[in-house]
Amino acid sequence: MSQSPERPARFPLPLGKLVKGSVSNASGAGQREVLMPQRHLREAAADAARQSAPRGLGLDSDMVRRRMVQRLQLEGLSDERVLQALSLVPRHEFVDSALAIQAYEDTSLPIGHGQTISKPSVVGRMIAMLMGGATARQQGRLGRVLEIGTGCGYQAAVLAELSRQVVSIERLRPLHEKAKLNLGKLRSSAQIRLIYGDGCLGYAQAAPYDSIIAAAGGEDLPPAWLAQLAVGGRLIAPMVSAGNRGQILVVIDHLLESGVSRFVRSEHEAVLFVPLKSGVM
């Protein structure tokens, strides 16, 4: 193939630049031959290769991810540090290869065992709210983080970009193992500690935490979470709202006022998370 540099297309296109190609509908039926410029043919072949081998997102996943982050910014996610963290984590490597093509859409996707990877906009929104906590304000970061519900490990990877250490607990053994594999490939893996256990009990061995984030929603806040939240720290969790009208995001700040420690609770928008369940499997 000629290596000459591509010139901008002129219209009408010179006939010499048109080559025989074929187009077909999604099912492959109704294929017909058309004349198209060589450059378009090469682009179509590259597109087709990307569709049939999503792992091959490879080099251009950076660009697709940047576009996802731009969309999240347009939709109102404004914290630059969170946008930067989202742009660093290869979400397509956390889902099955058959779903990788959808990895940069703002949607939750199945990760097996009845669980889902959270929507990027929700991950971004929750982490931005955590960053607004008192401790985070002082340090401009999340400090030491406890995550309940590792799932495939995606959110743990985003958190790791903004914190000193992430301790993440998962109650389903196969997902805990999957997250180990997914996160093992990342530069930030040294900061992430994965625990197989019941997140309702928190992880007292590494407490207290400056930030606690739950990726599964229950009826009540487990007392262990409050006990393990550092003074000045912030917790964010989906919870079934009073009157059982679905889940909402709840934020708890642990304050110390005149030597007295107290928890201040605020309620935010409606969300949809998998249920928080106790025990391990």
**Residue 140: burial class (beta carbons within 10 Å; 0-12, 13-18, 19+):** exposed
Q: Annotate each residue in 118-147 with x if it binds ligand SAH (CB under 6 A) or - if it does not, as one string.
A: x-----------------------------
CA distances for 105 relative to 71, 102, 108, 121, angstroms:
10, 5, 9, 10
Please identify which of the residues 22, 87, 97, 118 carries the catalytic annotation.
118
Which long-range contacts (C-beta less than 8 Å, at least 24 apart) are formed by 265-272?
267/241, 268/129, 270/241, 270/246, 271/122, 271/217, 271/238, 271/247, 272/246, 272/247
Of 68, 72, 162, 169, the one binding ligand SAH (CB under 6 A) is 169
Which long-range contacts (C-beta less than 8 Å, at least 24 apart) are formed by 120-126?
120/68, 120/72, 120/86, 120/91, 121/72, 121/75, 121/77, 122/271, 123/86, 123/154, 123/155, 123/158, 124/72, 124/77, 124/79, 124/82, 124/83, 124/86, 125/77, 126/213, 126/236, 126/249
Beta pairing partners, 272: none
Told to check if 200 binds ligand SAH by CB under 6 A, we report yes
Cis-peptide into 12, omega within 30 deg = yes
Single-letter amino acid code for the residue at 157 = A
Told to check if 92 binds ligand SAH by CB under 6 A, we report no
Told to check if 151 binds ligand SAH by CB under 6 A, we report yes
Of 50, 171, 178, 254, the one binding ligand SAH (CB under 6 A) is 171
**Closer to ligand SAH at the Cβ: 103 or 251?**
103
**Closer to ligand SAH at the Cβ: 131 or 175?**
175
**Closer to ligand SAH at the Cβ: 151 or 232?**
151
**Closer to ligand SAH at the Cβ: 86 or 111?**
111
**Closer to ligand SAH at the Cβ: 124 or 149?**
149
Task: Give how many residues touch ligand SAH by CB under 6 A.
Answer: 25
Of 69, 72, 117, 183, the one binding ligand SAH (CB under 6 A) is 117
**Closer to ligand SAH at the Cβ: 113 or 137?**
113
Of 82, 148, 159, 235, the one binding ligand SAH (CB under 6 A) is 148
Question: Is residue 22 among the annotated active site residues?
Answer: no
Of 149, 202, 233, 238, the one binding ligand SAH (CB under 6 A) is 149
Which of 98, 202, 243, 93 minimizes the C-alpha distance to 153? 93
Structure tokens that stand for 15 in this block: 């006939």
Told to check if 182 binds ligand SAH by CB under 6 A, we report no
Which residues ranging from 218 to 277 are in contact with ligand SAH (CB under 6 A)? 274, 276-277
Binding site for ligand SAH (CB under 6 A): 111, 115-118, 148-149, 151-152, 154-155, 169-172, 175, 198-200, 215-216, 274, 276-278
Catalytic residue numbers read 118
